Structures are given as structure tokens and as C-alpha cells.
Amino acid sequence: MGQTGRVHLVGAGPGNPELLTLRALRLIEGADVIVHDRLVPPGILALAPARARVIPVGKAPGHHSVPQERINEILHELAREGLDVVRLKGGDPFIFGRGGEEAAWLRARGVAVDVCPGITAAQGAAASAGVPLTHRGLASGVRYVTGHRMGGRPLDLDWSGLAHGETTLVIYMGAVNMAEIALRLIAQGRAGDTPVLAISNATTPDEHRILSDLAHVAGAVKRAAPEGPVLFIVGEVAALGLREEGMPVTDGFPGETRRRLGVAAHA
């Protein structure tokens, strides 16, 4: 058997192909095979060379078309063929992307692995909306958490710590459980009128924003029914976002919250 290939865990960024790193672009253009997640958009996959095999292994909530164990095996088999493999993940491969699991599994079997970081969904969504994740006087820290547990297991987050008023909280994969998350945070002392910005398809032409507060955001998102995964930015900074003309924004702010913040209503 020839020399074993290498697996590159590559972050595809939040969706806009222009937000790829230069190294990510170089690795994609030089790949023999690309194994990609569901959230990697066609515009990024189109950068692959014509000779490259492109293998989708995406997962949707509640539906894992290719189990994680099989994904690990696919990467191992391709590397054993001596191929240059790009494992392409939305956002950053080490932020809720199972990149650490895949790297450990492959390295334990003698496969060389390197990591190319990507702009996280949190960073991309915040920048696109003009929301500073930290801001002097409003947010002295930021925390990324998952709003979903594998197999529907109960959420066991650090509710007390997450309820701190000067911490920006970014919740990935939280749409299904957002009502519970909000109740838990409010029960631990986070104000119900804390601004929340929910963003779907961030940085892409289909981006949609829903501006609400912690007590009402779950209902606002349910009514708006945005397509694609939703990311939630919780904290006073969420009210500082840009108000671009033509950008779809669903206004889910109750009147009293809007008056407190001095935020103008969206059409």
C-alpha cells in the first residue's frame, strides 16, 4: 500500500464564500476529495477542482443521513488511499463541529490531521448584523453554547453563569429549545427584556433577522418560521445592530422593551 494521505479539517466560514480564509481556499482548490457538511453552500463547493470527488455527509436536526461513526470511517478509508482529503465544515471545525472528535479518531489510527480554522457562525452573524459581541459598558465577555443535546437529552448548561447580565450569550442550534432556554435564564435572574437577535442564513443573500427580547423571542421565531439554522445572540449588544434598508428584519420587540432601549420599530 502507498503512503497514507492527510485529512485537513477546514472551516468553511458562516456561508459567504468571500469569508473563507486564503488557506481554506488553497486547500479546497488542491483537494483530491472533499467531504462536506450540510451547511457548506454550493458557492464554496464550486471552488473545488473538477477532478475532485465531492462527498456530502450532512446532518439535519433529528436526521443523520450519515452517522458520525461512518463519517470517521470514510475519512480513514480515503486517507488510506493516499488522497489529500478536505473535511469541510461550516463555521469553524472546532466550534460545535465535532472536529475534535474526528481528529482524535483519525490520529489514533495513524492518519495525519491538520486544522484550518474558519470564521465562526457567531462571528459571521454578529459582524453581518453589526452587533459587537463585546462592548465597553455593556458586555465584558462572550460565551458560545449549544442549545441542543445529542439524542434529545436534557440541557445541562451552566444556567447561573449564563444568566450574568454583562455576558453576551451566543446560542447555536437553539431554535427547538429556545423557550426552555429563556425560562431557565430568566429563572436565574437574566432580565426578560434582555434584547435577543435571532439570525438565520447569516452572511448570505437569504439572511433574515428577528429582533426580540428574551421573554418573547421563542414565540417570535416560531411565528416568523425562518428557513435554515437559527443562531441567537442574547445580551444588551443585540440592540446595537445595523438597520440596513432592504434587510429582512422581523420585529418581535414588545413595546415596553423597545421604549426602554430607544429602538425604533421596523416595518
Active site residues: 37, 59, 173
Closest CA to 198 of 179, 156, 176, 170: 170
CA distances from 162 to 27, 89, 135, 147, 229 (A): 37, 27, 17, 12, 22
- Compute the Cα dihedral for 5, 10, 15, 20 and give only its sign: negative
Distance CA 249, CA 267 (A): 8
Spatial neighbors of 80 by CB under 8 A, at least 6 apart, are 1, 4, 5, 111
Q: Within 10 A of 250 (CB to CB), how many other CB atoms are there?
A: 18
- Compute the Cα dihedral for 15, 21, 26, 30 and give only its sign: negative
Contact 25, 49 (CB under 8 A): no
Give Cα 156 to chain centroid, integer Å. Answer: 20
